[in-house]
């Protein structure tokens, strides 16, 4: 599994932050705020895989795009960006040497914290 930056997701995340669609929570809050499997399945059923992909800053282009395995580094709850999700993703991306994703998450965090 090799993730690369999902540019449409990055554009959506930045737009949501600029629109004020942000939860300014702490890192530990992500375990509670992250959508669970049932919420993810409902979102895919209601909105489709493309919209689902826009909530993940990582994409594995070798994976089937109609599976959850193709997407990683979620940053929100399908409505708002969560600061906790951004922090968590940045840490994980750095740990696995996904530098483009890590850098995008850092920029997103800076944008959130600038307000």
Give me 47's structure tokens. Answer: 């909105």
Beta-ladder partners of 5: 58
Using alpha carbons, list the distances in angstroms from residue 38 to 34, 35, 53, 72, 97.
11, 8, 16, 17, 30
Confidence of residue 28 (pLDDT cuts 50, 70, 90): confident
Give me 66's structure tokens. Answer: 């109609």
96 near 76, Cβ under 8 Å? no
Residue 112: per-residue pLDDT = 97
- Residue in this structure with the two tokens 């990582």, named with its chain if needed: 58
Residue 24: per-residue pLDDT = 95
SS3 41: helix
9-22 confidence digits (pLDDT tens): 999 999 999 999 99
95-114 confidence digits (pLDDT tens): 999 999 999 999 999 999 99
Give me 60's structure tokens. Answer: 């594995």
In whole angstroms, what is the distance from residue 68 CA to residue 85 CA? 17
54-92 confidence digits (pLDDT tens): 999 999 999 999 999 999 999 999 999 999 999 999 999
Residue 27: per-residue pLDDT = 80
Residue 23: per-residue pLDDT = 97
Beta-ladder partners of 72: 58
Q: Give counts: helices (H), strands (E), the chain.
A: 6, 5
pLDDT of 115 higher than 80? no
């Amino acid at each position: 599994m090799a993730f690369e930056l999902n540019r449409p997701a990055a554009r959506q995340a930045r737009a949501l932050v600029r629109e004020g669609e942000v939860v300014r929570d702490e890192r530990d809050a992500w375990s509670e705020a992250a959508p669970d499997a049932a919420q993810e399945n409902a979102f895919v059923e209601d909105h489709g895989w493309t919209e689902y992909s826009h909530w993940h800053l990582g994409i594995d282009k070798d994976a089937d795009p109609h599976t959850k395995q193709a997407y990683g580094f979620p940053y929100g709850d399908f409505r708002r960006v969560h600061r906790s999700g951004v922090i968590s993703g940045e840490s994980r991306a750095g740990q696995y040497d996904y530098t483009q994703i890590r850098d995008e998450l850092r920029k997103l965090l800076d944008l959130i914290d600038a307000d």
